[in-house]
Amino acid sequence: MKPRTLDVLVFAAAAALAAHALLEGGAPAEAALLAPPLPELLSATGLHEPGTTRPRPDHLAFAPQYPLWSDGAAKRRWIHLPPGTSIDASDPDAWSFPPGTRLWKEFAHGRAVETRYIERLADGTWRFATYVWDEDGREARLAPEDGAVVVRADVPGGRYVVPSRQDCLACHEGPSVPVLGFSALQLSPDRDGLAPHAEAREDAHVGLAEMAARGLVRGLPAALLDVPPRVAGRTPVERAALGYLHANCGHCHNAGGALDGIDLALAQDARDPQRSAARTLRSLLGHDSRFRPHGAAATQRIASDGGPSVLALRMRTDNPLARMPPLGVAIADDEGIALVERWIHHDLQRPSETQR
């Protein structure tokens, strides 16, 4: 797709949203009509200091305690809030971000491959884009709307798949808020020492307490500052396993998203962690799976008797039609799977022993 064609499509989509809002009797959406096209260059999104690849100092770097597995890619993340604004955190599990919020996530295998970009527009809608880095590492360019494949010797398998705009929506429109990895639970200072692939929190990384102290979040229940949120596991391994499933699966499998009808809730709550953990266990243990792997003995999501489980099988398979998660993963996460299998076969089968 030519860059100019992409600009026209983006503008047309914004116009359609505005027209729909007016026809439905909603608030005027002139802001959507006035939204500029996505910049062709990453530098034009405001991530870096002019003429450099150094992130601007007014952006907040962060590292979620339960990172998303992406075939072993190293990541850096930043958020920018417009000056004088703050996040409404009165619902600690569905933060409301002000218009003008921007987030970037850089994926690297030795050197940067792509940077994903999310922006909240003036009318409250969100838009998503991906920028692919040039070979010399000086600039990244807007990927086509239908994604791309980058051929590079230093990435696993020699091919790096850049998601399409629809792929972005598939993950980000499932939860109650499209921003993933920046939440009360993910930024909690009570970090999980068993979380797979967790990055050490650096001085530059912003956390929940600092956000509250600086007035960057408002309305956050005081109880979550007195006792920082954490996943409610009966054992350390269970806590880490539920946190891993929350980060890697919970944005699709949650109690209120598009897949709610299959009764599989893997997202964990900051407000009521005991309730969400219990809900997850009820939705997993002893439930027959609608997916029946060909030739496999597993029939239940997690078998009550300790037998084979569809959950672990789908995480481990290299069949792209059966693999979970279905997007953004081509290589099984051995460390994450080992944690989940340890939880299934040890903690869940001998709870009295593991709770001592």
Do 46 and 25 fall into the same domain? no
Do 199 and 94 fall into the same domain? yes
More confident residue, 217 or 4: 217
Please choose, from the candidates 204, 109, 91, 121, the residue with its C-alpha nearest in 3D space to the C-alpha of residue 160: 109
Identify whether 224 is part of a domain.
Answer: no
What is the predicted pLDDT for the residue at 221?
Answer: 96
pLDDT band at 327 (very low <50, low <70, confident <90, very high): confident
Task: Provide the domain count of the chain.
Answer: 3
Instruction: Say yes or no to pLDDT of 11 above 60.
Output: no
Do 114 and 129 fall into the same domain? yes
Q: Taking residues 93-121, what's their average pLDDT?
A: 97
Please tell me the distance from the alpha carbon of residue 59 to that of residue 77, in angstroms, as a whole number. Answer: 10
Do 134 and 213 fall into the same domain? yes
- Structural domain boundaries enclosing 19: 1-36
Question: Is 326 within 8 Å of 291 (Cβ atoms)?
Answer: no
Identify whether 311 is part of a domain.
Answer: yes
What is the predicted pLDDT for the residue at 257?
Answer: 67
Rounded to two decimals, the pTM is 0.86
Instruction: Say yes or no to pLDDT of 68 above 90.
Output: yes
Do 52 and 200 fall into the same domain? yes
Identify whether 163 is part of a domain.
Answer: yes
Average pLDDT of the chain is: 86
pLDDT tens, residue by residue, 298-318: 788 998 777 889 999 999 988
Identify whether 160 is part of a domain.
Answer: yes
Last residue of a domain, one of 218, 245, 267: 218
Q: Which segments within the chain are labelled E, that is strand? A: 60-61, 74-80, 87-88, 102-109, 111-120, 126-133, 140-142, 148-151, 159-162, 217-218
Do 4 and 44 fall into the same domain? no
Identify whether 141 is part of a domain.
Answer: yes
